[in-house]
Structure 1
Amino acid sequence: MKRLLIWGAGDQGTVTAECALAMKRYGEIDFLTIREKESRQIPGHKIYEETDGNLLEILSAYDEVIVATGSNDLREAKLTKLASLGLHPASLLHPTAVISPSAVISEGCTVLAGAVINTNASVGIGCIVNTGAVIEHDCMIGDFVNICPRAAMAGHTEIGRKAYLGIGCTIIDDIKVGAETIVGAGAVVIRDIPDHTVVAGVPAKAIRQS
C-alpha cells in the first residue's frame, strides 16, 4: 500500500487524514507542518516540521502528497512549491462522495464525505470540496477554491479562482462568482459577484471588498 504525506497538521489535516483512511489505499499516513499555521497533536502519526533544509527529502520519501489547509493562499503557495520541486500532488476522493464519470477533478483536490459533483462539472487545481457540498451539472470551479460544508450551486455556475464559499450558502444557476470572493455562511446568491467582493445575506449583497 502507498505512503501518504499530508502537508498541513491542523484541523484540515486531520479531516484529510480521515478521508485518506476511508479510501483504504494507504498503509502509512504522516504529516508535515505548515510553518505559517499552528499545528495540533495527532496521536499515532509522524509529524515533520517544515524547514527549507529538509523539505525535498521529506516530500520525495512518500508516494503521494496532499496539501491540507483551508487557506486558499497557503494551499496555492505549497502546491506551487511542490511543482517547483518536480512533484505532483495527489487528489483524495472520499468513497461516499458521488462524482459523475463525466466530471473533471484536477490535481491536489480533496473531496470529502457526502459531496456531490455532477455531470460535466469541472474542479480546478487544489480545491477543497467539503462535507455534503453540491456542485451541480456543468459548473466550473476555478483553482484553489474552498467550498465549505453544505454549500450548493446549481447548474452552469462559475466560481472564480481562490473564492471561498461559506457553510450552507446557495448559488442559483448561471451565476458567475468572481475571483477571491467570499460568500458568507447561509447566503443566497441570485446575482453575479465581481472579483474581490464579500457578500452575505438573503439575498446576498456586497458588504465590503476582500
Structure 2
Amino acid sequence: MCKEKIVLLGGGGHCASVIDSILEKDIYSEIVVLDNDNSLFLPGGIHVIGNDEELPLLYQEGFHHAFITVGSIGDCSVRKKLFQKIEDIGFFIPNIIDKSATVSKWSNLGRGIYVGKMAVINSKVEIDNCAIINTGAILEHDCKIGEFVHVSTGAKLCGGVEVGCETHVGAGTVIKEYTKVGAHCLIGAGSVVIKSVDNHFMQYGCPAHKSSYKIQTKIEDRNEI
C-alpha cells in the first residue's frame, strides 16, 4: 500500500513534537513544513519549503494530507484560519496520535487533533476538531472538549468535565469532575478548578479564582506562515 505525503503548517516547537510522533509511527512517505522562517531546525532532517501560499501547488503534487502544527496559548486565530484554508482546498486532515498515548476505542475524535506522548483519552470522551491534547494530559470518562482547545502538558480533567471552544488549559491544571469551563478561556498553569468558569475569562490559582481581565476574541486577516 502506497503511503501518503503530508504538509505540516507551522514550524515551531509544537511542530517538532508532531514530527516526532509521525516519524515513530512511520505512516507517511514524505513530510514537508510550511513556515515564514526557512532557517528552522526540525527533527528528521525535515525542511521548511515555503509558506501557506504553496498549499494549492503541493496538493496538485500529491500532498493530500495536511495538519496544523502552529501551537497556541489562548489565541487560536491562526490555527482556525489555516484549518479553514486546508479544508477549502480539499486536504484530508488526519489525527496525529503518538504511539505512547492511550485512546479508548469508545472515545469520539474529530479531525486535526494531536494527542501527545503518554496522554490518556478515556472512555466516552468527545474531542472536537483541531484540539491539542499535549504530553501526559489525562481526559477521564465523559469529558467533552471543544474545537481548537489546548489541554496542555500534564493537565488532568476528571470525569465529565466540559471545555468550550478555543480555551487553553495550562500545564499541570486539575479540573474537578463535571465542572464546565467556557469558551475562549485561559486557565493558568498549575491551577485547581473546582467551580464552573464563564466564557472569555482567565482563572488561575489553587483553588482557581477569576481574574478581572476578560479575554477578547481576535480576528486575524494576515498571512501567518
CA contact (8 A) 1:32 1:48 kept: yes
Q: Does 1:125 align with 2:126?
A: no
Match of residue 49 from structure 1: 50
Give CA-to-partner distance per residue, 1:62-97, whole Å, 9 cap, x none: 142111111222111100111121223111011111
Q: Does 1:169 align with 2:173?
A: yes
Give the Cα separation in 1 of the matches to 2:77 and 2:25.
27
Give the Cα separation in 2 of the matches to 1:134 and 1:100.
12
Could you state the TM-score of these two structures normalised by the residue count of structure 2?
0.87
Give the aligned residue type for 1:113: K
Q: Does 1:81 align with 2:75?
A: no
Give CA-to-partner distance per residue, 1:90-122, whole Å, 9 cap, x none: 110111111111001110011011000001001
CA contact (8 A) 2:9 2:52 kept: no
CA contact (8 A) 1:66 1:90 kept: yes
Kindly state the Cα deviation for residue 188 of structure 1 after the two structures are TM-superposed. Answer: 0.2
Give the Cα separation in 2 of the matches to 1:98 and 1:161.
23
User: How many equivalent pairs are there?
Assistant: 207
Kindly state the Cα deviation for residue 163 of structure 1 after the two structures are TM-superposed. Answer: 0.4
Structure with the bigger RCO (C-alpha within 8 Å, sep 6+) is 2
Q: In structure 2, do the counterparts of structure 1 residues 6 and 103 end up closer, same or farther at CA, with 3 Å as the change threshold?
A: same
The structure 1 residue matched to 2:9, chosen from 1, 7, 19, is: 7
Kindly state the Cα deviation for residue 152 of structure 1 after the two structures are TM-superposed. Answer: 0.7
Give the Cα separation in 2 of the matches to 1:4 and 1:185.
32
Q: Give the match's secondary structure for 1:149.
A: coil
Q: In structure 2, do the counterparts of structure 1 residues 38 and 184 end up closer, same or farther at CA, with 3 Å as the change threshold?
A: farther
Name structure 2 gaps, 5 residues minimum: 216-225
Give the Cα separation in 1 of the matches to 2:143 and 2:63.
33
Give the Cα separation in 2 of the matches to 1:170 and 1:49.
39
Percent of aligned pairs sharing the same letter: 28
Give CA-to-partner distance per residue, 1:157-185, whole Å, 9 cap, x none: 10000000000000010111000100000
Kindly state the Cα deviation for residue 48 of structure 1 after the two structures are TM-superposed. Answer: 1.9
The structure 2 residue matched to 1:100, chosen from 99, 104, 116, is: 104
Match of residue 30 from structure 2: 28
CA contact (8 A) 2:137 2:156 kept: yes
Q: Give the match's secondary structure for 2:166.
A: coil
Give the aligned residue type for 1:7: L
Could you state the TM-score of these two structures normalised by the residue count of structure 1?
0.93
Q: In structure 2, do the counterparts of structure 1 residues 84 and 150 end up closer, same or farther at CA, with 3 Å as the change threshold?
A: same
Give the Cα separation in 2 of the matches to 1:39 and 1:193.
41
Give CA-to-partner distance per residue, 1:31-88, whole Å, 9 cap, x none: 111x4x8972226213122153x32112453142111111222111100111121223
Give the Cα separation in 1 of the matches to 2:201 and 2:113.
24
Name structure 1 gaps, 5 residues minimum: none
CA contact (8 A) 1:66 1:89 kept: yes
Residues 143-158 of structure 1 mapped to structure 2, 5 A cutoff: 143-158=147-162
Give the Cα separation in 2 of the matches to 1:30 and 1:38.
12
RMSD over aligned Cα, in angstroms?
1.6
Match of residue 214 from structure 2: 209
